[in-house]
Amino acid sequence: MGNQQKIDTIRSHIDTIDSAILKLLHKRLGYAKEIGRLKKASSRGIEDREREEEILQRLLSENSELLSDKTVETVFTAIIAACRRSQ
Amino acid sequence: MGNQQKIDTIRSHIDTIDSAILKLLHKRLGYAKEIGRLKKASSRGIEDREREEEILQRLLSENSELLSDKTVETVFTAIIAACRRSQ
């Protein structure tokens, strides 16, 4: 197999992964909306920041050396903010 | 079940989703590194931009109304940039 063919094959794996991530994002957003409905508006601000910190710490502890902690923070901060906006 | 208990249950679902996304990111990064090794450095710039556009268009076509297109773009631009930096 030539390099270009190998690249094309790997790219189709990446496409599959991206679609799976997108599906998980849809699911996550559904849950975030549910939480938004259940939460009292009053305590939301502080609790949200604590929860965001907790999520990031948990994921950093699960991170591999392959991916930088900075990347995990950037990607998940974007995910969390997006879900929060849609709550 | 009280609201707080419901929230806690949903949050544990979100934690599971986040871990699954992180695992997929690790996998995606592994593939991106492989592509980095296979690609000739010369044509990388233009090809990368075309590929990024292709990825985003494909994912936007799979997006649901639940999630804004802007969010998909923000999250995946962060993911793509992170994988590219690590190539």
Tell me the per-residue pLDDT of A21-74, one tens digit each, with 9 for 90 and over.
Answer: 988 988 998 898 898 888 876 566 767 888 899 999 999 999 888 788 888 898
| ipTM exceeds 0.85 | no
| Gap between the Cα atoms of B5 and A76, Å rounded | 24
List all residues of chain B from 27 to 56 with a beta carbon under 8 Å from chain A. 27-32, 34-35, 38-40, 51, 55
pLDDT at B26: 87
| Gap between the Cα atoms of B32 and A11, Å rounded | 8
CB contacts of A30 in chain B (<8 Å) are: 66
What's the domain count of chain A? 1
| A5, A18, A44, best to mutate vs chain B, most B CBs in 10 Å | A18
Domain range for B39 is: 3-86
Q: What is the CATH number of the domain that holds B32?
A: 1.20.59.10
Tell me the per-residue pLDDT of B20-39, one tens digit each, with 9 for 90 and over.
Answer: 998 898 899 889 889 888 88
Instruction: Give me the residue from B24, B71, B82 closest to A71, CB to CB.
Output: B82
pLDDT exceeds 90 at position A10: yes
| Gap between the Cα atoms of A60 and A36, Å rounded | 25
Supply A69's token pair: 């902690």
Instruction: Give me the residue from A11, A17, A35 closest to B7, CB to CB.
Output: A35
Q: Quick check: A83 and A24 in contact, CB under 8 A? A: no
Q: Quick check: A64 and B22 in contact, CB under 8 A? A: no
Assessment of whether the complete model's pTM goes beyond 0.90: no
pLDDT at A41: 60
Structure confidence at residue A81 as a pLDDT band (50, 70, 90): confident
Torsion sign (Cα): B23, B37, B42, B47: negative
Supply A35's token pair: 């939480």
DSSP state of B87: -
